[in-house]
Amino acid sequence: MITFDLRRPDRTIEPALRHKVDNLTKPKGSLGKLEHLAIQIGLIQQTLTPRLSNPCNILFAADHGIISEGVSVSPKEVTWQQLGHFAKGGAGINFLCRQHGFRLVLVDAGVDYDIPAGHGIIDRKVGRSTRNFLHGPAMTHDELDLCLRHGAEIVDMVADEGCNVVSFGEMGSGNTSASSMWMHAFAGTPLPQCVGAGAGLDRSGIDHKLNVLTRAWKNYSGDGSVSDLMAWFGGYEMAMAVGGMLRAAERGMVIIVDGFIMTSCMLAASRLYPEVTEYAVYGHQGDESGHRLALEALGAMPLLHLDLRLGEGSGAVCAYPILQSAVRMINEMDSFADVNVTKYFD
């Protein structure tokens, strides 16, 4: 399987970053999470003057075989229909990307439909939907490797064009089921706490979904390795997001993590390379029931609580202005040494 050369940011610069933030013209610590963010971004970029440039939201789309078990209210054709909608510019993620200056990159990772060329959708289709993981692996190890490589390739593309801050989104009916399985596998959270309403299941629908996923877990007969669990229960779009996250960290980019599905992807990525979390900023805590617990498993502090459960990268893009404020703070505020203001604390 593809390997990545991930290293934790060199912390030699951290005292200088803290000194700069602590000596801005404000009470020490008074800008809270903005101060922590500025230091984290400075560490990632290894500079006292961090910059955010050409933000991109990479959205991977694919279908899931488990949907044949009735675990989602969203029919499979919605995946390709919505992907076309993204391409036309009228979906939720489109207005958010326009508002916050993000480039939206659309990737067909495994949609069960022949997407016509000429619509700005990058074709990296690994298969027309994963297989039904109730009865066996959703994908082969070769397919998993190909997904990781494709995700890394897309990040290389945007990084080579000047992007240094990236978020990831997804589209795929049934992907909250796959995410619940990854969360259970990689965080050890009891499965009932991982399973939620997804695209809008009622109570009986959630109970049925839990029943299906419980049976799928009992049917698992793999070797228990991270890669095997990813292949058995994952989605093509999810595996590409993991590859993208790992390449982004390898290249020293800031990663803004979206909702439940992308947090499950970060969980998987962190089980392969724990260093990846040091490059991650968590955009929000969403409305899907397992999201809070997944964030807790990562020791993550989300920036927003807006009860979002749209996916697509929407919560990550919404959080971007907070990162901009953190960078503006460290670059644009005066220090006590530069102006005629008495520093009244140590």
Active site residues per annotation? 312
Token readout for 301 is: 């502090």
Provide the angle, in degrees to the nearest 10, between the axes of the packed helices 236-250 and 260-272: 60
- Least Cα distance to 111 among 141, 142, 87 occurs for 87
For residue 22, give every residue at least 6 positions away whose Cβ sits within 8 Å of its Cβ, in sequence order, or none.
28
Q: Which helix (H) or strand (E) holds 9?
A: none
Dist CA 294 CA 271 (whole Å): 13
SS3 content of the chain, % helix, strand, coil (to 5): 50, 10, 40
Q: Which residues pair with residue 254 across a beta bridge?
A: 165
Q: What Cα–Cα distance (Å) separates residue 323 from each residue in 38, 105, 111, 183, 267?
A: 8, 21, 33, 27, 22
Token readout for 277 is: 């979390």
